[in-house]
Amino acid sequence: MRITRKLVGVGMFALMTGCSTLHSLNPFASKPKGNLPAPLVALKGSMAVRTAWKLEVGKAETYMFSPAVADNTIIAAGGDGTIVRAEAATGRQIWRTKAGTDLTAGVGTDGTVIVLGGAKGKLLAFDMDGKKLWETQLSSEILSSPVVGQGIVVARSIDNRINGYDAKTGQKKWTVQRTAPALTLRLAPGMVIHDKDVLIAQPGGKLLSLILATGAPRWEVEVGVAHGATELERVTDMGGTPVIVDNDVCAVSYQGRVGCFDVATGSPRWTRDISSEVGVAADERFVFVPDEKGAVYAYNRETGTSAWKNDKLAYRRLSTPVSYGRAVAVGDYEGYVHFLSREDGAFLARAATDGSAIESTPLVVGSNLIFQTQNGTVTAIAVE
């Protein structure tokens, strides 16, 4: 079951980390009792898709891994410490290695360095040939994929401490500590590097921009605003990774809002109320987001006005979507990838992977869409 549906209370961490991650035990679970996942209906299909290749990298276990792209290759990792680099067009394996420890987060790369989170808070760096460069110890577990750019590796631990390291040596350059709310979901909020800044999705529904070289804050904005009388009702966390298109950064929060903000200043362009545990996709015209009940929404990126809604995938635990050509694609808990019309949300096609949940953020590389499942299958789906 997805780890993002586990409740963590500050001050109760030891108790909560012993709890099961079973979806039914989470008070915030997106599939309440009695709400069964929507059955899949047969599709005639107006768009041709096919599986281009598959690659096994090892199960994610209780964590979430997303592949990364560099120089027309993809790098993927699994929970048992497996790291693989392969050609993005063909899936041909270039190399496969072991990290020497179990892994909890990844993959991040700038095309020169590969970074991953290891067991017990280790941060690991490898070169593009799979040779280990260095490792260092963080203060607690790493759930969010580290990122690297401008010669700096940025990693965030579960206690919401953000560190910057020299990408060549692993020497710590700076530390930023942010207070976590009393209760959070056990999310893996993402980070993205843009020019000289790193934008970081935060527990509590905030989006933070730091200067990459020094860790100094550029701006901070609330994507989700807490509501309600109790701590449970006021939980508003961010999963997924912020998405940058032109001068906008777009993001979504659980029990909060979706919106786009000025990437330089954090000033809001627009926001709309919604609740989602996963990230958004954005392109020149639209922002796409699944809500916690499995409805997929499209908003006009300039104005935030609603473009369409597809609610035929209810309670199927949808992944972060991806926009490509005339379609927006989203994975589900059974490993299916659903292709919806970018213009009106109608079903266009469907593809199967390995039957296990898709929780990672998809990639677009050339004409292939790349998804990684919790059982460790990396699948490239070609859109024809």
Is residue 216 a part of any domain in this protein?
yes
Given this model, what pLDDT does residue 10 score?
Answer: 42
Is residue 38 a part of any domain in this protein?
no
Given this model, what pLDDT does residue 186 score?
Answer: 65
Given this model, what pLDDT does residue 213 score?
Answer: 97
Given this model, what pLDDT does residue 198 score?
Answer: 98
pLDDT, tens digit, for every residue of 211-240? 999 999 999 999 977 666 676 666 677 878
Q: How many domains are contained in the chain?
A: 1
Which residues, 6+ apart, have CB-to-CB distance to 165 below 8 Å? Answer: 123, 136, 152, 153, 154, 155, 171, 172, 173
> How far is the C-alpha of 270 from the C-alpha of 242, rounded, in Å?
15
Given this model, what pLDDT does residue 8 score?
Answer: 52
Given this model, what pLDDT does residue 12 score?
Answer: 37
pLDDT, tens digit, for every residue of 315-357? 999 999 999 999 999 999 999 999 999 999 999 999 999 999 9
Give Cα separations from 322 to 270, 275, 318, 383 (angstroms).
Answer: 21, 18, 12, 13
Domain that holds residue 291: 3-14+44-383
> How far is the C-alpha of 191 from the C-alpha of 202, rounded, in Å?
9
Question: CA 213, 214, 220 angle in degrees (round to 5)?
Answer: 105
Q: In CATH, what number is assigned to the domain containing residue 259?
A: 2.130.10.10
Given this model, what pLDDT does residue 178 score?
Answer: 85
Is residue 33 a part of any domain in this protein?
no
Using pLDDT thresholds of 50, 70 and 90, give the confidence band for residue 377: very high
Mean pLDDT computed over 253-262: 94
Smallest Cα–Cα separation from 327: which of 105, 73, 52, 47? 47
Does the structure show a pLDDT above 70 at 3?
Answer: no
Smallest Cα–Cα separation from 362: which of 260, 278, 238? 278
pLDDT, tens digit, for every residue of 113-172? 999 999 999 999 999 999 999 999 999 999 999 999 999 999 999 999 999 999 999 999
Is residue 21 a part of any domain in this protein?
no
Residue 4, SS3?
A: helix
Is residue 96 a part of any domain in this protein?
yes
DSSP element (H, E) containing 13: helix 13-16
Is residue 35 a part of any domain in this protein?
no
Is residue 39 a part of any domain in this protein?
no
Given this model, what pLDDT does residue 25 score?
Answer: 34
Mean pLDDT computed over 20-39: 54
Using pLDDT thresholds of 50, 70 and 90, give the confidence band for residue 44: confident
Residue 206, SS3?
A: strand
Given this model, what pLDDT does residue 106 score?
Answer: 93
Is residue 261 a part of any domain in this protein?
yes
Q: What percent of the chain has pLDDT over 90?
A: 79
Given this model, what pLDDT does residue 34 score?
Answer: 58
> How far is the C-alpha of 361 from the C-alpha of 18, rounded, in Å?
27
Given this model, what pLDDT does residue 15 score?
Answer: 31
DSSP element (H, E) containing 78: none
Does the structure show a pLDDT above 90 at 378?
Answer: yes
